[in-house]
């Protein structure tokens, strides 16, 4: 059982900064922030979950079944992540590529302390065992002194590429051969940028990345020595009551400081034949995935190829919805749609096999999902893209970027799109 308390801070913006800084004392932290992005499907502006009472950490073997049992038995709020490599639990696949990060493939925890922010209100939910700490914690948060901290202790952080440019071109040509043979229609091909022997201040890195990008699905996640610092613009999957929402992104255009040129870039993306075809292919895949748990005839496309603007890029987003029976288990809905189509391709299994053969790095948490499941079985998960991943013990930092390869793809343009997506993360890490 939880004790609920409502608090109204004098300044919600300052409170959010102090709250996340205060949270760093805990081994388990999940912070989800919409950056006040007005989305018809959002429940909160921001959420903080800290301090595990119970947790689950596992590899992909029976990963979804283990999560299902944990979620059912806990019957409380749980927060955590699903790594891309849970694909091996869903299909007869494997992940043998290099893994510098060494994150568990699935990790969730039941927080003792929860903060839900909406507008100017903060709703606090503490487990009964710690309810007498609420007042002291609020006083500690609002009196927390924020200090300027450098993001990196490395004078010259050298970011390296796992795949060099000419090799990238060759691999995209290989993928195009698969497409022309009819093995696949589309696949998301990703590459890793990384640095070794790195000491970072994860909170400062996250704050800088979030300031640059202001995405609707920002995440700061800490599990002991492992960090996800995410500026994700994409929702993977949300359940609210019996309604399921998926919002795949396919289609990216750069921004311009010149208002006229920026508008032209946005309009060009709206009518770009290649970008629209990429998006529509993934919408079809998502419709098929949702149909596995949907009531008959309930899968609908609410938005098709709508263009949204973010500080770094314009993005083409579609919204697909379905209705499920009230007795459908939330983990079954996630399992039958995972990994998300926007990060795999079509047909999904064939695309994942080709991705594994051509990519040089195990994706791990990248192109997985971070989010929560409520006691009622509702959930909301982002897609882990535009994200910096850090293993503090191994002193290894990594970010990956990718794009959809279709029959109309030009390897040079695909590489340029990767660099656009990598820009904010590179800037933050290199100060």
Please state which of the four CATH numbers 1.10.10.60, 3.40.50.300, 3.40.50.150, 3.60.120.10 is assigned to the domain occupying 2-429: 3.60.120.10
DSSP string, 417-430: HHHHHHHHHHHHHT
**Pairwise CA distance, residues 334 & 36, whole Å:** 26
Express each pLDDT in 30-58 by its tens digit: 999 999 987 778 889 999 999 999 999 99
Please identify which of the residues 214, 222, 239, 250 carries the catalytic annotation. 250
**Pairwise CA distance, residues 30 & 82, whole Å:** 13
Question: What is the structure's pLDDT at 157?
Answer: 87
**Pairwise CA distance, residues 296 & 293, whole Å:** 9
Question: What is the structure's pLDDT at 155?
Answer: 62
Cβ burial 177-206 (10 Å sphere, 16+ → b, else e): ebbeeeebbbbbbbbbbbbeebebebbbbb
pLDDT-based confidence at residue 243 (cuts at 50, 70, 90):
very high
CB 338 within 8 A of CB 82: yes
Tell me how long the chain is: 431
Percent of the chain with pLDDT over 90: 89
CA distances (Å), 338 to each of 88, 316, 333, in order? Answer: 10, 21, 9
Name the 3-class secondary structure at 282: helix
Name the 3-class secondary structure at 310: coil
Q: How far apart are the first and last CA of the chain?
A: 45
Q: What is the mean pLDDT of residues 298-324?
A: 94
CA distances (Å), 320 to each of 39, 200, 238, 301, 339, in order? Answer: 14, 38, 11, 4, 16
250 is catalytic: yes
CB 390 within 8 A of CB 174: no
**Pairwise CA distance, residues 255 & 265, whole Å:** 7
Please identify which of the residues 28, 186, 192, 234 carries the catalytic annotation. 234
**Pairwise CA distance, residues 353 & 184, whole Å:** 10
Q: What is the mean pLDDT of residues 159-175?
A: 96
Pair of tokens at residue 319: 């919204």
CB 341 within 8 A of CB 355: no
Indicate the domain borders of the chain: 2-429
Express each pLDDT in 361-414 by its tens digit: 999 999 999 999 999 999 999 999 999 999 999 999 999 999 999 998 999 999
Pair of tokens at residue 283: 């919408």
Q: Residue 225, Cα to own-chain centre: how many angstroms?
A: 19
Express each pLDDT in 48-86 by its tens digit: 999 999 999 999 999 999 999 999 999 999 999 999 999
Helical residues (DSSP H) of 198-319, grouped into ranges: 202-213, 259-271, 273-291
Question: What is the structure's pLDDT at 178?
Answer: 97
């Amino acid at each position: 059982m939880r004790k609920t308390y409502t608090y109204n801070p004098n300044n919600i913006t300052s409170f959010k900064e102090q709250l996340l800084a205060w949270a760093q004392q805990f081994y388990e932290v999940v912070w989800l922030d919409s950056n006040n992005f007005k989305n018809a499907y959002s429940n909160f502006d921001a959420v903080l979950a800290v301090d595990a009472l119970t947790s689950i950490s596992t590899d992909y073997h029976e990963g979804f079944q283990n999560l299902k049992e944990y979620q059912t038995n806990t019957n409380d709020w749980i927060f955590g992540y699903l790594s891309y490599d849970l694909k091996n639990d869903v299909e007869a696949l494997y992940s043998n590529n290099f893994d510098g990060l060494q994150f568990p493939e699935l990790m969730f925890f039941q927080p003792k302390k929860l903060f839900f922010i909406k507008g100017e209100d903060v709703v606090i939910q503490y487990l009964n065992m710690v309810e007498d700490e609420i007042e002291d914690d609020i006083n500690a948060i609002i009196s927390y002194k924020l200090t300027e901290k450098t993001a990196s202790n490395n004078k010259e952080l050298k970011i390296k590429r796992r795949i060099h440019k000419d090799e990238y071109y060759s691999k995209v040509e290989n993928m195009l051969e698969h497409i022309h043979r009819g093995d696949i229609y589309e696949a998301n091909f990703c590459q890793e940028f990384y640095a070794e022997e790195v000491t970072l201040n994860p909170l400062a890195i996250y704050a800088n990345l979030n300031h640059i990008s202001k995405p609707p699905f920002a995440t700061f996640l800490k599990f002991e020595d492992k960090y996800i610092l995410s500026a994700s613009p994409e929702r993977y999957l949300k359940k609210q009551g019996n309604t399921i929402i998926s919002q795949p992104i396919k289609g990216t255009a750069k921004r311009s400081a010149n208002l006229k040129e920026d508008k032209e870039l946005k309009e060009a993306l709206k009518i770009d034949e290649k970008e629209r075809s990429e998006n529509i292919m993934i919408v079809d895949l998502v419709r098929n995935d949702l149909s596995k748990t949907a009531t008959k005839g309930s899968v609908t496309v609410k938005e098709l190829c709508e263009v949204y603007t973010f500080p770094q890029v314009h993005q083409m987003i579609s919204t697909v919805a379905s209705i499920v029976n009230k007795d459908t288990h939330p983990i079954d809905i996630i399992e039958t749609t995972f990994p998300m189509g926007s990060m795999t391709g079509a047909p999904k299994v064939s695309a994942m096999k080709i991705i594994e053969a051509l990519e040089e790095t195990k994706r791990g948490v990248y192109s997985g999902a971070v989010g929560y499941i409520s006691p009622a079985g509702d959930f909301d998960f982002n897609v882990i893209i535009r994200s910096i991943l850090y293993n503090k013990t191994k002193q290894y930092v990594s970010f990956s970027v990718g794009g959809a390869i279709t029959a109309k793809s030009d390897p040079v343009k695909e590489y340029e799109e990767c660099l656009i997506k990598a820009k904010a993360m590179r800037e933050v890490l290199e100060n």
